[in-house]
A = this chain, B = another copy of it.
Amino acid sequence: MTEMMSHAELEAALRQIGAERYHWNHPFHRRLHGGECSKAEVTVWALNRFYYQSMIPVKDAAILARMRDPALRRAWRQRIIDHDGEREGDGGIERWLKLTDGLGLERDYVISTEGILPATRFAVDAYVHFVQERSLLEAIASSLTEMFSPKIIADRVSGMLANYDFINEQTLAYFGKRLSQAPRDADFALDYVKREAHTPEQQAAVLAALTFKCDVLWAQLDALEHAYVTPGRIPPGAFQPGAA
């Protein structure tokens, strides 16, 4: 019989999952930050990751649609505003497109997502379905990878600026904004799951939701590495760097 964890124990268990399963442990990320990726590899990373970025507000809207408390919705809707912006040309998705612009990809091609790996689409869509189908508690808990993102973003920005001459402050504008947005979002979600997980089973579901989300991020890098690094076999129909 599992016992109820204290709030501090729950947070420690969440951080432990991050330490073991967050994609900062993935070799592709280490190569990306360490300057070992070719421009083609950075490009396919940015192209595939665009689909993830573009679906974040869809995911957050699905969560918003399940909330019955206006105060909760007021807090959560900021995430959608952050990604979609206050006006045309603003917001996190637009800032991600500055990165793909800088890498020489056509915007229409990026936005079409036609060149992404099927495995990217399956992983991202699994995240959207998860927040639609699981409890609101699990849906909110699945956002808790934000607890770890300031560290990975700091490493990414400094490593990429130092190592790639095709990357500059402007093309990495997305990450600058996230350094202030992510901790605010993570604190809110962490407080929520501490407060609303009332049973050992609910606490276990919170941990499982974070594990699931780590799997979603990890699977995207595995697919990228398989297609473009080792063994480097691009699945039928996906983007071919040489042909760009």
Residue positions of A touching B, CB distance < 8 A: 20-21, 25, 27, 117-119, 121-123, 125-126, 129, 211-212, 214-216, 218-219, 222-223, 225-227, 230-231, 233, 235-237
Contact = CB atoms under 8 A, between A and B. Distances in A.
22 contacts: A20-B236, A21-B236, A21-B237, A118-B123, A118-B212, A118-B216, A118-B218, A118-B219, A119-B122, A119-B123, A119-B219, A122-B122, A122-B219, A125-B129, A129-B129, A211-B237, A215-B237, A218-B235, A218-B236, A219-B235, A223-B223, A225-B226
Instruction: Please name the 6 residue pairs, one residue from A and one from B, whose CB atoms are nearest each other, closest first.
Output: A118-B215, A122-B122, A226-B226, A122-B126, A21-B236, A230-B231
Majority secondary structure, A binding face: helix
Contacts of A226: 222-223, 225-226
A76 B230 CA distance: 41
Given A118-B123, A122-B125, A222-B235, 11 more contacts: A21-B236, A27-B233, A118-B216, A119-B122, A119-B222, A122-B126, A122-B219, A215-B237, A219-B223, A226-B226, A230-B231
A113 B119 CA distance: 19
B222 A233 contact: yes
The oligomer's copy count stands at 2
A225 B218 CA distance: 16
A201 to B, nearest CB: 17
A231 B227 CA distance: 12
A215 B122 CA distance: 10
A96 B122 CA distance: 25
A207 to B, nearest CB: 12
Contacts of A219: 117-119, 122, 223, 235
A28 to B, nearest CB: 10
Contacts of A123: 118-119, 122
Nearest to A236: B21
